[in-house]
Amino acid sequence: MSNLIRKPIGLTIEPIVTGGLLYALTKAPPQIQDPVLSAIAKLPFDVNVATAVTVLKCLFAFGFTRRVNKWLNSWALNHWQLSSRKKDWDWPKEVAIVTGGSAGIGLIIVKRLLEKDLKVAILDIAPIPAELQNNPNVKYYNCDITSPESIHAAAEGVRSDFGNPSILINNAGIGSLHSVVETDYNFLKKIFDINVISHFSTVKEFMPDMLKANKGHIVTVASMASFVGPSGIADYSATKAGVLAFHETLNQEIRHHHKATGVLATVVHPSWVATALIKEWEADIQRAQGPLMKAEMVGNAIADQVLSCKAAQIMLPPQLHFVSGIRAWPNWVQEAMRDLVGRKHPLNAGSRSYAPIPVLLLVGGFVLANFTLYR
């Protein structure tokens, strides 16, 4: 239903649509303007042309600003370079590293890259599926990414088998549902080792060759929990906020310290995805928050971004992009938003929102407007 709503609303803020209508109503020659005015006159309801022109001007300004903002975002995230270096990428000669590539989102990414004849190295503790075992463009390395020594051994194997990687996709991650006071210390160490520390280890191992070639793409798979952490996943949210900070700092180091503007950095923030990570409480999440995203949506978005030869910050689903600005909102809006999200979390069954109903209605309206307007 949300797609049915968003598409017509999206058209009303497309500058090419509103601009075309403005031209037809105000500047077009009579042979164009007269049929448009005649069609408006035949509508089953009264339309004040002057008011319509004013509304179209506002929609055009909003849509134009939105488009310019998207372009500026892309420009900034690609080291302020206007053009991509697509000509520098020859897919059959490129080597991609995918951590956690044996299943779920990682496997989708691997399959998409193989369609372009890339060489793909999978670093995982789980074996790859049978369908990939005889593919000459795929190599599996049994690798514990919490161990720098294991990563180094895998890296040596990749260089020997395929050559130096130009793409690194840090996809592997774990999570579990529990409160802070129930958190097991051993699990806490493990989740930070996998979700955060491993990114340092893989980048230290693979980025130097990218810097030498001034060509590469590093993808950090974070989460919507980088911005909004529901109760029950404090450790997971902390790791995902951490890898967002890691990504942002890494991008600055690539640009200013290494001066290697041919090396790109992309960060991805999926919301709930139907994977093995949340299998245990998938039904509870769906009852509370609706259908989950499929792994294909996330994996394909990541592969598409890599194949575009451009860096980006990817929010999935895209209409939740506004969540990235939550920390700039007033505290009362932030807390009401967290109330709306947190009370529906499986750990908090039966909980109520503590924010007053008028506040929740205001915030709900704000969220709905952003959800429907952003495509």
Residues labelled catalytic: 236, 240
Q: Could you tell me if 307 and 75 are in contact, meaning their C-beta atoms sit under 8 angstroms apart?
A: no
Q: Please list, residue by residue across 294-318, b when 16 or more beta carbons sit within 10 angstroms of its beta carbon and e when fewer do.
A: ebebbbbbbbebbbebbbbbbbbbe
Write the CB contacts of 350 (distance below 8 Å, at least 6 apart in sequence): none
- Residue 215 gets the label, from left (phi > 0), alpha (psi -120 to 50) or beta, of beta
CA dist 324 → 105, 249, 320, 321 (Å) = 22, 17, 8, 6
d(C-alpha 320, C-alpha 310), whole Å: 21
Report residue 252 as tokens: 């600055």
> Pairing state of beta strands 263-270 and 167-170?
unpaired
Where helices occur in 79-197 by DSSP H, the ranges are 104-115, 148-161, 185-192
Alpha carbon distance 166, 173 (integer Å): 22
219 Cα distance to chain centroid: 10
CA distances from 104 to 36, 172, 298 (A): 51, 10, 10
DSSP labels, 195-232: IIIHHHHHHHHHHHHHHHHT-EEEEEE--GGGT---TT
User: Who contacts 209 (Cβ-Cβ below 8 Å, separation ≥6)?
Assistant: 164, 165, 216
Q: What's the rounded Cα separation, in Å, for the pair 129 and 261?
A: 36
Cβ partners under 8 Å of residue 174, min gap 6: 190, 191, 194, 195, 277
How far apart are the C-alpha atoms of 270 and 317, rounded to whole Å?
Answer: 7
Report how far residue 250's alpha carbon sits from residue 264's, in angstroms, rounded to the nearest whole number. 10
Q: What are phi and psi of 101, to 5 degrees?
A: -90, 5
